[in-house]
Amino acid sequence: MSRIQVAKPYVPAEDVDTILREARTVLESGMLMQGTWVKRFEEEFAAYCGTRFARAVSSGTAALHGILDYYGVRDREVLLPVNTFLASGNAVLFAGGTPVFADVDPETLLVDVSDLERRITAKTAGVILVHVAGLITQELDRLRALCRARGLFLIEDAAHAAGSGRGSERAGGLVDAGAFSLLATKVITAGGEGGVVTTNDEKLAHRIVSLRFHGEDHTRGIQDRIGYSWRMTELQAIVGTTQVRRLDEIVGRRMQIAASYDRAFAALPRVRALRTAEGDRIAYYKYPLRLLPPLERRAVQQRLDKEFDVQTGTSYWPPCHLQPAYRQAFGYREGDYPVAEKALDQTIALPMHCWLTDDEIRRVVHAVSTVCA
């Protein structure tokens, strides 16, 4: 019985053929950077998200860092949920600001907007909204109104949410700007790494182009600010472009798998799927499943692995404030974010990727149903 992986990039055979063919052309041309493929990728990504601009960079962290640099957060505070990968907070630090975490709603694992609002101070510059697992908060309108009223920027950490949307709006085009990750395990990839900034703000788009190449003003060929080496290569852009063209297919399949899980686990009294907004398009980077007492996360994960060859993850454990680096830097302790600490320690993430077969989905359902009965 083969092991069921928790994540796997989706690159069908015909796309592999396309990528190899186009890669040969690029390699033979000698134009490995700043060519036509990056521009094509940016145009197609922007069109998908419904924004005027998309700017490709080297990682999702670089995308967040660049946006925060533009908004000028040095010596100021940026609010974000404590349930996120540490890169979200690190980007604030890289831009000279201080990350200030807010607790989460245990039913969604997304930011608790009431708790976030209580943490706004005179030093607050803005908010990072993290679409954990590809879910969009049901309090989006409230959060947008709050930020407008307080004069705060609002940006999306959409690392999990390529293809997510609500109504006619898509992740990356919901607020002031969006930052995407194209890491190998994400909903779509650019050959292992990469990132994208989406926005309707022309000045922000120009800033990202400058920052990604050492602060250069490309119109004059001079470095007029301190920048970085954040460029996406042509080879990455070939992969990324084929992935954008598959995005509707990818998200559609992930939603089918999630629906199968939802139906199967609705009858299990000791587990709960996350609460989602009806009609939302959800990319399901992860499928988090909450465990109710007396189930214990570590024991459940160990049994799923050893007895059923089913790989699982978390979403995220430990949360940011309990990571050793942040404990040391900011003095965080257990109990500082009690809702997240309790909820995340009782949440597993099930296999979620387009290569899952119907038989493998049934195996996952059987394994969880047996272990969590």
pLDDT, one tens digit per residue, over 26-55 is 999 999 998 899 999 999 999 999 999 999
| Same domain for 232 and 355 | no
pLDDT the model gives residue 330: 96
Query: Which of 168, 257, 213 lies closest to 55 in space, CA to CA?
Result: 213
Q: Is the pLDDT of residue 184 over 80?
A: yes
| Same domain for 168 and 227 | yes
Q: Round to whole Å and give the CA distance between 105 and 223.
A: 45
| Same domain for 257 and 204 | no
| Same domain for 91 and 197 | yes
In a domain, 1, yes or no: no
Query: Which of 84, 32, 5 lies closest to 352 in space, CA to CA?
Result: 5
pLDDT, one tens digit per residue, over 66-117 is 999 999 999 999 999 999 999 999 999 999 999 999 999 999 999 999 999 9
126 or 1, which is more confident: 126
pLDDT, one tens digit per residue, over 276-323 is 999 999 999 999 999 999 999 999 999 999 999 999 999 999 999 999
pLDDT, one tens digit per residue, over 9-27 is 999 999 999 999 999 999 9
Query: Which of 102, 83, 181, 178 lies closest to 146 in space, CA to CA?
Result: 102
| Same domain for 263 and 148 | no
| Same domain for 37 and 87 | yes
In a domain, 43, yes or no: yes
State the DSSP code for 190. Answer: S
| Same domain for 284 and 239 | no
Number of domains in the chain: 2
Question: What dihedral do alpha carbons 241, 246, 250, 252 form, nearest 10°?
Answer: 140
| Same domain for 305 and 164 | no
In a domain, 27, yes or no: yes
Which of 205, 221, 245 finishes a domain?
Answer: 245
| Same domain for 196 and 47 | yes
**CB-based burial label for 233 (10 Å; 0-12, 13-18, 19+):** buried
| Same domain for 189 and 76 | yes
pLDDT band, residue 3 (cuts 50/70/90): very high
Total Cβ atoms within 10 A of residue 245: 14
In a domain, 30, yes or no: yes
Q: Which domain, by its residues, includes 129?
A: 13-101+109-245
For the entire predicted model, the pTM comes to 0.96
In a domain, 297, yes or no: yes
Q: Round to whole Å and give the CA distance between 224 and 217.
A: 6
CATH number at residue 207: 3.40.640.10
Which of 210, 245, 280 finishes a domain?
Answer: 245
In a domain, 262, yes or no: yes
**Quick one: CA dihedral 105, 328, 185, 352, positive or negative?**
negative
pLDDT the model gives residue 218: 74
Could you tell me if 182 and 189 are in contact, meaning their C-beta atoms sit under 8 angstroms apart?
Answer: yes
Task: List, in order, residues 6 or more apart from 244 with CB less than 8 Å away.
Answer: 41, 44, 45, 48, 188
- Helix ranges (H only) for 50-127 are 60-71, 86-94, 113-118
CATH number at residue 263: 3.90.1150.10
In a domain, 2, yes or no: no
In a domain, 8, yes or no: no
Q: Round to whole Å and give the CA distance between 88 and 81.
A: 9
Cis peptide before 294 (omega within 30 of 0): yes
pLDDT, one tens digit per residue, over 241-284 is 999 999 999 999 999 999 999 999 999 999 999 999 999 999 99
pLDDT the model gives residue 223: 87
Q: Is the pLDDT of residue 1 over 80?
A: no
Q: Which two tokens stand for residue 147?
A: 């930020």
Query: Which of 136, 127, 130, 181 lies closest to 157 in space, CA to CA?
Result: 130
pLDDT the model gives residue 217: 82
b/e map of 163-197 (b: 16 or more CB within 10 Å)? bbbbeebbbbbbbbbbbbbbbebbbbbbbebbbbb
pLDDT the model gives residue 133: 98
**Quick one: CA dihedral 6, 181, 162, 96, positive or negative?**
positive
Which of 245, 272, 300 finishes a domain?
Answer: 245
| Same domain for 191 and 114 | yes
pLDDT the model gives residue 116: 98
Q: What is the largest CA-CA distance in the chain?
A: 66
| Same domain for 139 and 187 | yes
